[in-house]
Chain A
Amino acid sequence: MTRRVPTTCPYCGVGCGIVLNVDDSGRIAWVDDDPANLSSVGMLCVKGRFGATFVNHPDRLTTPLVRRDGVLQPATWDEALDLVARRLPEYRGRFGSFASAKATNEDAFVQQKFVRLVMGTNNIDHCTRLCHSPSVEAMLQQLGSGATSNSYADFEAAGCVVVIGCDPGSNHPVIASRLRRAIDDRGVRLVVVNPRRIDLCDRAQVFLQPEPGADVALFNGMARAILDAGVEDRDFIASRTEGYAAWEAAVLELTVEQHAALAAVDAGLLREAALLIARPPAPVGHPPAGRPGTCLLWGMGITQHTQGTANAHALINLALLTGHLGHPGAGISPLRGQNNVQGCGDSGCIPDSLPGYQRLDEGNLASFEGAWGASPPAQPGLKATDMIERILAGDIRAMYIVGENPLLSEPNLHHATMAIQALDFLVVQDIFLHETAALADVVLPACSFAEKDGTFTNSERRVQRVRPAIAAVGESRPDWEIICDLARRMAPGAGVARGQFEYASAAGVFDELARLTPFLRGLSHERLDREGGLQWPCPTPGHPGSPVLYAESFPRGRGLFVPVRQGSFADETPDADYALILNTGRVLYHWHGGTLTRRVRGLLARVDTVPVAIHPDDAAPAAISGGDDVTVYSRRGRLRGAAVVTDAVRPGSVFVPFVKLNESAANFLTNNAYDPQSRIPEYKVCAVRIEKGHAARRRDAAATGALRPQGEAAIDHEPVPGHE
């Protein structure tokens, strides 16, 4: 007899409804779509449908591990947690923690509470630092809130949808399906902005293929075209915004042609896209009275640059200029990459604010002290990328990393590995013994999404239930329970009441999160079970949730224009030695670094080698043909992959998804240069060269010496014995 358990997909941030069908042996036998889920409306992608089997992979961690005599060995929960409880207090003041955007809101909330109360620091962050921190910074400054303004349904009510610096067909496939439905059935116009020709371009009215790093010029050029044509939304600018004059002056410094030349796009196409965005035609079924809107969707192509925050400002300025905010069929949508990256931030796993993005000011600290019996620290903590850098400076000596594998996700992995190895004490809590866990002193086995009770919050702010479908694998436990157990052992020494970490259930954790977070206050597990997923803000139990934000005003009052000018394109640009630009991204059949998808046989069978996309003009001189083994070198490392010769990439550039396959990963090449405001790394641009053939493995010393940065000890990315 098959049991059917409705829950939420563990992969990207779309948040599709899935129904796990569990057979008599307690294993997942099939994954159904869920037509009742309002975010996915019955659609699913290959990872959602066929990618859940990693939960039963034999590599799952089944017991705690403690390093003894240099080797990770099985231990009891008491041995492992007592050891962590004994060691961590030594590192107060020199401690940092990464939370997981794959775990639940409940897990995230308990972790930040532990870090703030028991470890006494705000050094807690998560992978938003590596994906949308510039978007959040820019939206907070300009609007006063850092979340997507509208809903997926608005894509189908819009006149025009603009897909910028992202490839939904690979990383948000159900968004791609919803966009195709909007275009095919409603006649919605599509504009694509991407240095690479993505699949959706087949349906695009305008495709702009700019030089990587030229986004400010591109969007300022669009703004100039809109101003030249006089199609800006003057009422909106006058009644809803401020800072217009200074911004306009910056945009008017260059003509459309000059902006277009900087971005290396055709000025006519740039103008056509701009006018479409400003005044889109009505889609099929649009009410005759209303003005058709434009939805701006964007991904890492905007953010993962040393000028990522400026890029996001340029884009939001465009939304303010055209008035496409605050009504259905319009809005701004940063597409979130992980199932709960929205919720992890909402729940407080960010170093400069408390749950609900409440600033670390006196009033908020006092109200949390009232709830928790002790005050969170007032000093803002370190951001994730800064924590890594500060390990090498000696300021961070111990870390507690939950559901995150920085040794695949950080830039310049040789450098990141140096840092993690330099820690005195590392605790990793996860489901697999990945690259980072293999270096830990203590490894704590956590439950996967299929074994847990809780909630995820998706890219359209929809809080959705996660329900246990299978029994916990081995001795693994839900993340929040592990942290509560540890916290109870450490609480007395930290002057915190043990009772602060005693919860009867995940629903009880959520209730505390909701009590302390005004925009979640109307939600509970019980209500979500009854009504299905709901979109925050949802301040009261009778509130229906909020599909569209900013109808009347912005949280900061008026929307703020922020003048930005095109700066240098990137920290590292091509030169004679490294003549090509490396662009990184995703591939449909893997998810991010691949820790999960490499453990799904069918997905690995589809893509088992890192594909290296190169333009025919660049392939020919190197005698590279499609399918050839190639090696890509940067100043920091190298990658072995298989060539895909295609004119989908710009001449002079190479595209590589950042999944690790056959021990090769793009982040050995990428540059640990950061955007000054958000501290996001510049994953999207660095200088590389490519050679035909696979370089010898690093053990062949002659071929490797030159690659190792000076002063750094030998580090390799060969398989760690005993796993993978």
Chain B
Amino acid sequence: MSLTVDGIEAPAEGTLLDAVLAAGIGLPHLCTDDNLAAIGACRTCLVEADGRIVAACSAPASQFHQVATRGAVVERIRRGVLELTAAMVSPGSLDRPGGPHAGELAAALASHSARLDRYPHRTRTRSDATNTFFSFHEEACILCGRCVAACQELQHIGAIGMAGRGGATRVTPGADATFADSICTSCGSCVAACPTPALSPREAFAP
């Protein structure tokens, strides 16, 4: 059983995303973290696999033979997904400094020449600066769920979750609670996971 990604042989182990990255090919994967199982929420890792468009992070590599990350159709779809994702954040909100992965969305938008203004921006303005180590700015949040997974599945704390439905969905440390009032232990795993500057370190590193 052999697997090729854009014509390059790749190990047929784990997910297609693992195979793509092992082949040394860049592919956005905004809701997947080194530390965690795939969430499958962002749809930015779409590839064409044996003629179907699938999310690479959630497709078992052993079930496919030929994978293409390039191609007019799959690239257009990914660009569309990224442009919809860009519409979730306020203009300019991705320019603020953030955690170690804060540039991932901006980099994905740039690599796909995505237009930031193709769809109308949704404006969300809540922010929470009650934690002494990091702050949360909803205007840069794309609801990928990495912070929630880091809090729940990595640290098993469960201080933050998703609240609301549809367009009102948001990340929150409890029902209208602040980080300071929540059971958050300030471990920073959410900040380490965030692919935008939504969760960003405060000036903690200036002693």
Contact = CB atoms under 8 A, between A and B. Distances in A.
Interface in B155-207: 155-157, 185-189, 192, 201-202, 204-207
Contact of A44 (B157, B189, B207): B189
Nearest to B34: A35
A45 interface: yes
B132 A177 contact: no
A386 B158 CA distance: 46
Interface in A22-76: 27-30, 32-33, 35, 42-46, 49-50, 53-54, 56-58
Nearest to B155: A177
B64 interface: no
Contact of B201 (A30, A46, A169): A30
A602 B156 contact: no
Contacts of A606: 132, 186
B11 interface: no
B154 interface: yes
A21 interface: yes
Interface string B9-48: 0000000000000000000000000110000000000000
Contact of A177 (B156, B201, B207): B156
A184 to B, nearest CB: 6
Contacts of B132: 601-603, 605-606
A599 B189 CA distance: 22
Q: How large is the interface on A (under 10, 10 to 19, 20 to 34, 35 or more residues)?
A: 35 or more
Given A53-B206, A180-B157, A606-B132, A173 B34 contact: no
Contacts of B99: 30
A589 B188 CA distance: 13
B204 A43 contact: no
B185 A43 contact: no
Contact of A30 (B100, B156, B186, B187): B100
A606 B207 CA distance: 15
* Central interface residue in A49, A181, A599, by most chain B CB within 10 Å: A49
A42 B133 CA distance: 19
Contact of B192 (A28, A32, A589): A32
A322 B28 CA distance: 53
A612 interface: no
A466 interface: no
A180 to B, nearest CB: 4
A92 B47 CA distance: 75
Given A33-B35, A45-B185, A46-B133, 11 more contacts: A30-B201, A35-B34, A42-B35, A43-B155, A46-B186, A56-B207, A57-B207, A180-B155, A600-B204, A601-B207, A602-B133
Interface of B: 34-35, 99-100, 132-133, 154-157, 185-189, 192, 201-202, 204-207
12 contacts: A21-B100, A27-B205, A29-B205, A46-B186, A49-B188, A50-B186, A180-B155, A588-B185, A599-B207, A602-B133, A603-B132, A606-B132
